[in-house]
Homo-oligomer: A and B are copies of this chain.
Protein backbone atom coordinates (compact mmCIF):
# COMPACT_ATOMS: atom_id res chain seq x y z
CA UNK A 1 0.00 0.00 0.00
CA UNK A 2 1.20 3.45 -0.86
CA UNK A 3 2.35 5.13 2.33
CA UNK A 4 0.63 8.36 1.43
CA UNK A 5 -2.79 6.74 1.84
CA UNK A 6 -4.50 5.11 4.80
CA UNK A 7 -8.12 4.41 5.71
CA UNK A 8 -9.34 3.96 9.24
CA UNK A 9 -12.82 3.17 10.46
CA UNK A 10 -13.78 5.62 13.20
CA UNK A 11 -17.23 4.36 14.12
CA UNK A 12 -19.67 1.62 13.11
CA UNK A 13 -23.38 2.14 13.78
CA UNK A 14 -24.62 -0.61 16.09
CA UNK A 15 -28.09 -0.39 14.58
CA UNK A 16 -27.10 -0.79 10.91
CA UNK A 17 -23.39 -1.41 10.40
CA UNK A 18 -23.13 1.91 8.50
CA UNK A 19 -19.81 3.52 9.24
CA UNK A 20 -17.68 6.63 9.56
CA UNK A 21 -14.08 6.52 8.38
CA UNK A 22 -11.09 8.65 7.54
CA UNK A 23 -9.17 8.47 4.29
CA UNK A 24 -5.74 10.09 4.54
CA UNK A 25 -4.42 11.57 1.28
CA UNK A 26 -1.50 13.86 0.34
CA UNK A 27 -3.93 16.81 0.20
CA UNK A 28 -5.73 16.16 3.45
CA UNK A 29 -8.07 13.84 5.28
CA UNK A 30 -11.50 12.93 3.92
CA UNK A 31 -14.08 11.92 6.46
CA UNK A 32 -16.52 9.38 5.02
CA UNK A 33 -19.35 9.03 4.13
CA UNK A 34 -18.60 11.86 1.73
CA UNK A 35 -20.41 13.49 -1.17
CA UNK A 36 -17.97 14.70 -3.83
CA UNK A 37 -19.10 17.62 -6.06
CA UNK A 38 -18.32 17.08 -9.73
CA UNK A 39 -16.05 19.50 -11.57
CA UNK A 40 -16.05 17.90 -15.01
CA UNK A 41 -13.90 20.53 -16.75
CA UNK A 42 -11.80 21.37 -13.67
CA UNK A 43 -14.59 23.61 -12.34
CA UNK A 44 -17.64 22.78 -10.26
CA UNK A 45 -20.02 24.49 -12.64
CA UNK A 46 -20.54 28.20 -11.85
CA UNK A 47 -18.86 28.04 -8.41
CA UNK A 48 -15.49 29.38 -7.29
CA UNK A 49 -13.28 26.96 -5.35
CA UNK A 50 -13.79 29.25 -2.35
CA UNK A 51 -17.56 28.78 -2.64
CA UNK A 52 -17.19 25.00 -3.03
CA UNK A 53 -15.03 24.87 0.08
CA UNK A 54 -17.54 26.98 2.01
CA UNK A 55 -20.18 24.32 1.30
CA UNK A 56 -18.17 21.82 3.30
CA UNK A 57 -16.76 19.94 0.31
CA UNK A 58 -13.78 17.77 1.25
CA UNK A 59 -12.87 16.57 -2.23
CA UNK A 60 -13.97 17.29 -5.80
CA UNK A 61 -14.05 15.17 -8.93
CA UNK A 62 -12.65 16.04 -12.31
CA UNK A 63 -13.03 14.22 -15.58
CA UNK A 64 -10.13 12.56 -17.36
CA UNK A 65 -11.96 12.26 -20.68
CA UNK A 66 -12.97 15.93 -20.81
CA UNK A 67 -9.64 17.28 -19.59
CA UNK A 68 -7.71 15.06 -22.01
CA UNK A 69 -9.70 16.56 -24.90
CA UNK A 70 -9.60 20.12 -23.50
CA UNK A 71 -7.29 21.74 -22.41
CA UNK A 72 -5.14 18.57 -22.67
CA UNK A 73 -3.38 16.69 -19.87
CA UNK A 74 0.00 18.07 -20.92
CA UNK A 75 -1.16 21.64 -20.39
CA UNK A 76 -2.49 20.71 -16.95
CA UNK A 77 0.86 19.10 -16.13
CA UNK A 78 2.69 22.25 -17.23
CA UNK A 79 0.34 24.27 -15.00
CA UNK A 80 1.62 22.20 -12.07
CA UNK A 81 -1.21 19.65 -12.01
CA UNK A 82 -4.94 19.91 -11.44
CA UNK A 83 -4.69 21.27 -7.88
CA UNK A 84 -2.67 24.26 -9.08
CA UNK A 85 -4.57 24.64 -12.35
CA UNK A 86 -8.02 24.92 -10.76
CA UNK A 87 -6.81 26.34 -7.44
CA UNK A 88 -8.30 23.55 -5.32
CA UNK A 89 -5.87 22.42 -2.67
CA UNK A 90 -7.91 19.71 -1.01
CA UNK A 91 -8.08 16.18 -2.46
CA UNK A 92 -9.15 15.57 -6.06
CA UNK A 93 -10.41 12.37 -7.68
CA UNK A 94 -10.34 11.79 -11.42
CA UNK A 95 -12.37 9.15 -13.12
CA UNK A 96 -10.69 7.20 -15.89
CA UNK A 97 -12.74 8.40 -18.81
CA UNK A 98 -14.14 4.92 -19.35
CA UNK A 99 -17.72 5.98 -18.66
CA UNK A 100 -17.50 9.00 -20.99
CA UNK A 101 -15.79 7.08 -23.79
CA UNK A 102 -18.74 4.68 -23.74
CA UNK A 103 -21.53 7.16 -23.11
CA UNK A 104 -20.45 10.34 -24.94
CA UNK A 105 -18.02 9.52 -27.70
CA UNK A 106 -19.31 8.77 -31.16
CA UNK A 107 -17.98 6.15 -33.56
CA UNK A 108 -16.11 4.20 -30.96
CA UNK A 109 -14.48 0.88 -31.74
CA UNK A 110 -13.56 -1.37 -28.84
CA UNK A 111 -10.95 -4.11 -28.84
CA UNK A 112 -9.12 -5.87 -26.06
CA UNK A 113 -6.25 -3.47 -26.60
CA UNK A 114 -8.24 -0.24 -26.24
CA UNK A 115 -10.93 2.04 -27.62
CA UNK A 116 -10.96 4.21 -30.73
CA UNK A 117 -13.34 7.16 -30.49
CA UNK A 118 -14.07 10.56 -31.96
CA UNK A 119 -14.02 13.77 -29.95
CA UNK A 120 -17.43 15.30 -29.25
CA UNK A 121 -15.78 18.70 -29.63
CA UNK A 122 -14.26 18.56 -33.10
CA UNK A 123 -14.67 14.99 -34.37
CA UNK A 124 -10.92 14.34 -34.12
CA UNK A 125 -9.86 10.69 -33.72
CA UNK A 126 -8.43 9.38 -30.45
CA UNK A 127 -7.28 6.06 -29.07
CA UNK A 128 -7.56 5.26 -25.39
CA UNK A 129 -5.87 2.31 -23.72
CA UNK A 130 -5.61 1.37 -20.03
CA UNK A 131 -1.99 2.53 -20.10
CA UNK A 132 -2.85 5.88 -21.69
CA UNK A 133 -5.68 6.45 -19.20
CA UNK A 134 -3.07 6.04 -16.46
CA UNK A 135 -0.58 8.35 -18.19
CA UNK A 136 -3.22 11.07 -18.49
CA UNK A 137 -4.24 10.71 -14.86
CA UNK A 138 -0.60 10.80 -13.78
CA UNK A 139 -0.26 14.13 -15.60
CA UNK A 140 -3.47 15.48 -14.08
CA UNK A 141 -2.14 14.52 -10.66
CA UNK A 142 -5.34 13.82 -8.71
CA UNK A 143 -4.98 12.12 -5.33
CA UNK A 144 -7.33 9.30 -6.28
CA UNK A 145 -7.47 7.92 -9.82
CA UNK A 146 -9.65 5.31 -11.51
CA UNK A 147 -8.79 2.23 -13.53
CA UNK A 148 -9.94 2.29 -17.16
CA UNK A 149 -13.13 0.22 -17.40
CA UNK A 150 -15.76 -0.81 -19.89
CA UNK A 151 -19.05 0.49 -18.59
CA UNK A 152 -22.28 -1.14 -19.78
CA UNK A 153 -25.72 0.46 -19.75
CA UNK A 154 -28.67 -0.85 -17.77
CA UNK A 155 -30.13 -3.06 -20.49
CA UNK A 156 -26.98 -4.80 -21.70
CA UNK A 157 -27.49 -8.58 -22.13
CA UNK A 158 -25.64 -11.12 -20.09
CA UNK A 159 -23.13 -12.09 -22.74
CA UNK A 160 -22.01 -8.54 -23.43
CA UNK A 161 -21.99 -7.73 -19.71
CA UNK A 162 -19.78 -10.73 -18.99
CA UNK A 163 -17.38 -9.83 -21.78
CA UNK A 164 -17.14 -6.23 -20.56
CA UNK A 165 -16.64 -7.35 -16.95
CA UNK A 166 -13.73 -9.66 -17.81
CA UNK A 167 -12.22 -7.08 -20.15
CA UNK A 168 -12.40 -4.55 -17.31
CA UNK A 169 -10.46 -6.99 -15.09
CA UNK A 170 -7.80 -7.52 -17.77
CA UNK A 171 -7.53 -3.75 -18.24
CA UNK A 172 -7.21 -3.35 -14.48
CA UNK A 173 -4.12 -5.53 -14.49
CA UNK A 174 -2.57 -3.32 -17.17
CA UNK A 175 -3.57 -0.16 -15.27
CA UNK A 176 -1.99 -1.48 -12.08
CA UNK A 177 1.24 -2.33 -13.95
CA UNK A 178 1.43 1.14 -15.48
CA UNK A 179 0.68 2.75 -12.13
CA UNK A 180 3.67 1.07 -10.39
CA UNK A 181 5.79 3.61 -8.57
CA UNK A 182 3.22 6.40 -8.56
CA UNK A 183 2.77 6.18 -4.82
CA UNK A 184 1.45 9.73 -4.45
CA UNK A 185 -1.71 8.72 -6.31
CA UNK A 186 -4.13 6.01 -5.23
CA UNK A 187 -5.59 3.71 -7.91
CA UNK A 188 -9.17 2.51 -7.41
CA UNK A 189 -10.21 -0.62 -9.34
CA UNK A 190 -13.80 -0.51 -10.65
CA UNK A 191 -16.32 -3.29 -10.09
CA UNK A 192 -18.58 -3.97 -13.09
CA UNK A 193 -20.95 -6.85 -14.01
CA UNK A 194 -24.15 -4.99 -14.86
CA UNK A 195 -27.23 -6.32 -13.02
CA UNK A 196 -26.05 -9.96 -12.91
CA UNK A 197 -25.35 -11.10 -9.38
CA UNK A 198 -22.77 -13.74 -10.26
CA UNK A 199 -20.91 -11.36 -12.57
CA UNK A 200 -20.83 -8.71 -9.85
CA UNK A 201 -19.34 -11.28 -7.43
CA UNK A 202 -16.71 -12.35 -9.95
CA UNK A 203 -15.90 -8.72 -10.64
CA UNK A 204 -15.42 -7.64 -7.05
CA UNK A 205 -13.24 -10.64 -6.28
CA UNK A 206 -11.04 -9.83 -9.26
CA UNK A 207 -10.99 -6.11 -8.59
CA UNK A 208 -10.04 -6.44 -4.94
CA UNK A 209 -6.80 -8.22 -5.90
CA UNK A 210 -5.61 -4.81 -7.12
CA UNK A 211 -7.24 -2.58 -4.49
CA UNK A 212 -4.71 -0.89 -2.23
CA UNK A 213 -6.84 1.45 -0.18
CA UNK A 214 -10.21 1.78 -1.87
CA UNK A 215 -12.27 0.66 -4.85
CA UNK A 216 -15.22 1.78 -6.95
CA UNK A 217 -18.54 0.31 -7.90
CA UNK A 218 -19.35 1.34 -11.45
CA UNK A 219 -22.14 0.54 -13.88
CA UNK A 220 -24.97 1.29 -11.46
CA UNK A 221 -27.48 4.15 -11.70
CA UNK A 222 -27.36 3.64 -15.46
CA UNK A 223 -31.10 3.40 -16.05
CA UNK A 224 -32.11 0.45 -13.83
CA UNK A 225 -34.79 0.80 -11.11
CA UNK A 226 -33.41 1.94 -7.76
CA UNK A 227 -34.43 -1.36 -6.13
CA UNK A 228 -32.20 -3.25 -8.57
CA UNK A 229 -29.27 -1.00 -7.67
CA UNK A 230 -29.89 -1.56 -3.95
CA UNK A 231 -30.02 -5.32 -4.55
CA UNK A 232 -26.67 -5.23 -6.34
CA UNK A 233 -25.17 -3.37 -3.37
CA UNK A 234 -26.55 -6.04 -1.04
CA UNK A 235 -24.94 -8.72 -3.24
CA UNK A 236 -21.56 -7.00 -3.07
CA UNK A 237 -21.58 -6.11 0.59
CA UNK A 238 -20.27 -9.43 2.00
CA UNK A 239 -17.11 -8.97 -0.11
CA UNK A 240 -16.17 -5.48 1.16
CA UNK A 241 -12.89 -5.35 3.08
CA UNK A 242 -13.25 -3.19 6.20
CA UNK A 243 -10.02 -1.30 5.70
CA UNK A 244 -10.83 0.55 2.49
CA UNK A 245 -13.50 3.00 1.37
CA UNK A 246 -16.17 1.96 -1.12
CA UNK A 247 -17.06 4.45 -3.82
CA UNK A 248 -20.43 4.20 -5.60
CA UNK A 249 -19.79 6.06 -8.87
CA UNK A 250 -22.28 8.60 -10.24
CA UNK A 251 -24.70 8.34 -7.30
CA UNK A 252 -26.62 10.33 -6.41
CA UNK A 253 -29.87 11.73 -5.38
CA UNK A 254 -30.57 12.37 -1.68
CA UNK A 255 -32.51 9.10 -1.27
CA UNK A 256 -29.80 7.05 -3.02
CA UNK A 257 -27.12 8.59 -0.80
CA UNK A 258 -29.09 7.70 2.34
CA UNK A 259 -29.76 4.15 1.10
CA UNK A 260 -26.17 3.78 -0.10
CA UNK A 261 -24.73 4.68 3.31
CA UNK A 262 -27.10 2.13 4.85
CA UNK A 263 -25.54 -0.46 2.52
CA UNK A 264 -21.97 0.38 3.54
CA UNK A 265 -21.04 2.89 0.82
CA UNK A 266 -18.50 5.55 1.83
CA UNK A 267 -18.10 7.81 -1.22
CA UNK A 268 -20.58 9.34 -3.66
CA UNK A 269 -20.47 11.74 -6.59
CA UNK A 270 -23.14 13.07 -8.93
CA UNK A 271 -23.75 15.87 -11.43
CA UNK A 272 -27.39 16.05 -10.29
CA UNK A 273 -27.05 19.03 -7.89
CA UNK A 274 -25.51 21.33 -10.50
CA UNK A 275 -27.57 20.00 -13.41
CA UNK A 276 -30.84 20.42 -11.50
CA UNK A 277 -29.73 23.91 -10.49
CA UNK A 278 -29.19 24.93 -14.10
CA UNK A 279 -32.73 23.74 -14.78
CA UNK A 280 -34.08 25.83 -11.91
CA UNK A 281 -34.77 22.95 -9.51
CA UNK A 282 -33.71 22.31 -5.93
CA UNK A 283 -33.54 19.53 -3.38
CA UNK A 284 -35.55 20.21 -0.24
CA UNK A 285 -36.17 18.31 2.95
CA UNK A 286 -39.53 17.27 1.51
CA UNK A 287 -38.49 16.41 -2.03
CA UNK A 288 -37.58 18.26 -5.21
CA UNK A 289 -38.79 21.79 -5.86
CA UNK A 290 -39.03 23.46 -9.26
CA UNK A 291 -38.17 27.00 -8.25
CA UNK A 292 -38.79 28.07 -11.85
CA UNK A 293 -42.52 27.41 -11.37
CA UNK A 294 -45.01 30.27 -11.04
CA UNK A 295 -46.01 28.96 -7.60
CA UNK A 296 -42.73 30.35 -6.23
CA UNK A 297 -43.40 33.85 -7.59
CA UNK A 298 -44.46 35.38 -4.29
CA UNK A 299 -42.84 32.92 -1.88
CA UNK A 300 -40.80 35.25 0.29
CA UNK A 301 -39.08 32.45 2.18
CA UNK A 302 -36.06 30.23 1.48
CA UNK A 303 -35.80 27.27 -0.88
CA UNK A 304 -35.44 25.05 2.20
CA UNK A 305 -36.26 26.48 5.62
CA UNK A 306 -34.03 23.88 7.30
CA UNK A 307 -30.94 24.53 5.18
CA UNK A 308 -27.90 26.47 6.41
CA UNK A 309 -26.42 27.39 3.00
CA UNK A 310 -25.64 30.90 1.71
CA UNK A 311 -28.60 30.68 -0.67
CA UNK A 312 -31.14 29.70 1.97
CA UNK A 313 -29.80 32.09 4.60
CA UNK A 314 -29.98 35.10 2.29
CA UNK A 315 -32.48 34.72 -0.54
CA UNK A 316 -36.12 33.92 -1.11
CA UNK A 317 -37.71 31.58 -3.62
CA UNK A 318 -39.31 34.68 -5.17
CA UNK A 319 -35.91 36.26 -5.86
CA UNK A 320 -34.37 33.07 -7.24
CA UNK A 321 -37.39 32.51 -9.45
CA UNK A 322 -36.99 36.09 -10.75
CA UNK A 323 -33.33 35.37 -11.55
CA UNK A 324 -34.21 32.18 -13.40
CA UNK A 325 -37.07 33.85 -15.30
CA UNK A 326 -34.65 36.63 -16.28
CA UNK A 327 -31.98 34.13 -17.45
CA UNK A 328 -29.65 35.49 -14.80
CA UNK A 329 -26.71 33.20 -14.06
CA UNK A 330 -26.89 33.91 -10.34
CA UNK A 331 -30.09 31.83 -10.13
CA UNK A 332 -28.37 28.60 -11.14
CA UNK A 333 -25.34 29.56 -9.09
CA UNK A 334 -27.33 29.96 -5.87
CA UNK A 335 -29.25 26.73 -6.50
CA UNK A 336 -25.98 24.90 -7.22
CA UNK A 337 -24.67 26.04 -3.87
CA UNK A 338 -27.86 24.92 -2.19
CA UNK A 339 -28.08 21.53 -3.91
CA UNK A 340 -24.46 20.65 -3.22
CA UNK A 341 -24.75 21.83 0.36
CA UNK A 342 -27.94 19.79 0.71
CA UNK A 343 -26.11 16.56 -0.14
CA UNK A 344 -23.07 17.40 1.96
CA UNK A 345 -25.28 18.32 4.91
CA UNK A 346 -27.14 15.05 4.41
CA UNK A 347 -23.86 13.12 4.83
CA UNK A 348 -23.09 15.22 7.91
CA UNK A 349 -26.49 14.37 9.39
CA UNK A 350 -25.92 10.71 8.48
CA UNK A 351 -22.59 10.74 10.31
CA UNK A 352 -24.22 12.23 13.37
CA UNK A 353 -26.84 9.45 13.35
CA UNK A 354 -24.12 6.81 12.92
CA UNK A 355 -22.23 8.28 15.88
CA UNK A 356 -25.42 7.93 17.90
CA UNK A 357 -26.04 4.33 16.71
CA UNK A 358 -29.36 5.39 15.20
CA UNK A 359 -28.76 5.38 11.47
CA UNK A 360 -31.69 2.99 10.94
CA UNK A 361 -34.01 5.48 12.63
CA UNK A 362 -32.47 8.26 10.55
CA UNK A 363 -33.30 6.35 7.35
CA UNK A 364 -36.89 5.84 8.49
CA UNK A 365 -37.28 9.53 9.32
CA UNK A 366 -35.75 10.53 6.00
CA UNK A 367 -37.99 8.20 4.00
CA UNK A 368 -41.10 9.48 5.78
CA UNK A 369 -40.23 13.10 5.04
CA UNK A 370 -38.48 13.06 1.68
CA UNK A 371 -40.67 12.23 -1.29
CA UNK A 372 -38.30 11.45 -4.15
CA UNK A 373 -41.14 11.05 -6.63
CA UNK A 374 -42.04 14.75 -6.38
CA UNK A 375 -40.82 16.75 -9.37
CA UNK A 376 -41.95 20.18 -8.23
CA UNK A 377 -44.50 21.75 -5.94
A315 — which chain B residues lie within 8 A by C-beta? 87
CA–CA, A318 and B323, complex, Å: 30
Inter-chain CA distance A105–B171, complex, in Å, is: 62
Chain B residue with minimal CB distance to A328?
Answer: B43
Is B48 a contact partner of A333 (Cβ separation < 8 A)? yes
Judged by a CB distance under 8 angstroms, whether A314 is at the interface is yes
Closest to A300 in B: B79
A319 at the interface (CB under 8 A from B): yes
Complex: A325 Cα to B48 Cα, angstroms: 17
Most buried by B among A46, A298, A310, A326: A326
Most chain B CB within a 10 A radius of its CB, from A47, A70, A87, A332: A87
- Number of chain A interface residues as a range: 35 or more
Partner of A329 from the list B42, B87, B329 (CB cut-off 8 Å) is B329
A334-B315 Cα distance, complex, nearest whole Å: 22
Q: Is the C-beta of A1 less than 8 angstroms from some C-beta in chain B?
A: no
Please give, as numbers and ranges, the residues of chain B lying within 8 Å of A43 by CB-CB distance.
323, 328, 330
Q: Does A176 contact B (CB under 8 A)?
A: no
**Would you call A323 and B87 a contact (CB within 8 A)?**
no
Contact B322 A71 (CB under 8 A): yes
**Which residues of chain B are near A79, meaning CB under 8 Å?**
300, 316, 318-319
Which residues of B are found within 8 Å of A319, using beta-carbon distances?
42, 79, 85-87
Q: Whole-angstrom distance between the alpha carbons of A325 and B70 in the complex?
A: 8
Contact B71 A310 (CB under 8 A): no
The chain B residue sitting closest to A326, CB to CB, is B41
